[in-house]
Amino acid sequence: MRSLPVWGRRVLRHISGAPSHPTYSFEGYEIPIDLINLTGAGPESFGAIATAHTHHLKESVGLNPDHFFLEVGCGIGRDAIQLTKLLSPRGRYVGVDIIKRSIDWCTENISPRFPNFSFLHYDVMDQLHNPTGTMATNAIRLPIPDGSVDRVILWSVFTHMFRTEILHYLQEFERLLAPKGLIFATCFIVDEATIASAQKTNLTPYGLRFSHVYEPGCFINDLEHPLGAVAYTEEAMLKTITEAGLTLKAMERGNWSGHFASTLDSQDAVILSGKNG
């Protein structure tokens, strides 16, 4: 068996009353490997990605120990576990996801150690991750007080959404943002040069080419699975941001297409503020 990085190792655990699931030891937690794989990366890169995310958030939007963090698409808690080491007892974190087993695991394993960390499940129908879901994204209203959230984080969420869903989330965030609050959301921003470079270099394992126009300003990668990867022109993304009542503070370009040399690995990102930002 080949060796794994020092920050973890694979083990087998038996969960009482449930099937046996291979788990991965990380930061004192035993995390189901199948749920790690749903984050788009396996155990071998789990810790490295978590560290990179935290570092980038510190540089891009700042992390204050007393902040209230909302993470949409929190998955199995990759970023939440890192934030437990940064937030003070006065800080707060709420993670949201559509995969119930991931939320259940976070609630059962992270929240007992850190009561200021809580997790919410929404049974949203998603073609790839939750095809039997019973509700639409547009039905979500987060049970969080208006004007209370300091940082909203979304890693690889808008990359799987069409415009109406993105607009709904952005309108929710506009309601929730505290004064000087910020949103950090990764996405795919394209134009002719970016698409041409992506088709030429093919740097990702997902074959991102965005050859199909779904609607004006919106491109998809796969006709059979349109939500597998969705990209927007800068103009289309800015229109949605403005309609939600938010302001674009910065746009970061990732290295996924080969068109930009960037410290932001893979996807692009937008940093947004509310009316009091």
Tell me, what's the pLDDT at 276?
75
- Reduced to 3 states (helix: H, G, I; strand: E, B; else coil), residue 73 is coil
Q: Does 149 have pLDDT greater than 80? A: yes
- Segment 255-264 shows an average pLDDT of 85
CA distance 247 to 272: 5
Note whether residue 33 is domain-resident: no
Percent of the chain scoring above 90 in pLDDT: 84
Tell me, what's the pLDDT at 20?
63
H/E run at residue 90: none
Tell me, what's the pLDDT at 34?
95
Q: Does 16 have pLDDT greater than 80? A: no
Those residues whose C-beta lies under 8 Å from the C-beta of residue 90, and which sit 6 or more positions away, are 65, 66
| Domain, as residue range, for 100 | 45-273
Note whether residue 126 is domain-resident: yes
- Segment 137-161 shows an average pLDDT of 97
Q: Does 78 have pLDDT greater than 60? A: yes
Note whether residue 181 is domain-resident: yes
Tell me, what's the pLDDT at 4?
27
The model's pTM: 0.91
Note whether residue 9 is domain-resident: no
- Reduced to 3 states (helix: H, G, I; strand: E, B; else coil), residue 119 is strand
pLDDT in tens, 124-138: 998 888 999 999 999
Note whether residue 184 is domain-resident: yes
Please choose, from the candidates 66, 74, 77, 73, the residue with its C-alpha nearest in 3D space to the C-alpha of residue 27.
77
Tell me, what's the pLDDT at 6?
27
pLDDT in tens, 85-107: 999 999 999 999 999 999 999 99
CATH number at residue 225: 3.40.50.150
CA distance 110 to 261: 36
Identify whether the C-beta of residue 190 lies closer than 8 Å to the C-beta of residue 121.
no
- When comparing pLDDT for 7 and 77, which is higher? 77
Note whether residue 172 is domain-resident: yes
CA distance 277 to 275: 6
Note whether residue 29 is domain-resident: no
Give the count of domains, the chain.
Answer: 1
- Segment 6-10 shows an average pLDDT of 29
Identify whether the C-beta of residue 147 lies closer than 8 Å to the C-beta of residue 178.
yes
- Segment 67-96 shows an average pLDDT of 98
pLDDT in tens, 195-224: 999 999 998 888 999 999 999 999 999 999
pLDDT band at 2 (very low <50, low <70, confident <90, very high): very low
Average pLDDT, the chain: 91
pLDDT band at 111 (very low <50, low <70, confident <90, very high): very high
- When comparing pLDDT for 127 and 181, which is higher? 181
Those residues whose C-beta lies under 8 Å from the C-beta of residue 258, and which sit 6 or more positions away, are 197, 198, 200, 201, 203
Note whether residue 85 is domain-resident: yes
Q: Does 49 have pLDDT greater than 80? A: yes
Torsion, Cα 219 49 111 61, to 10 degrees, reads -70
Report CA-CA distances (Å) from 228 to 164, 194, 206, 245.
Answer: 16, 19, 9, 28
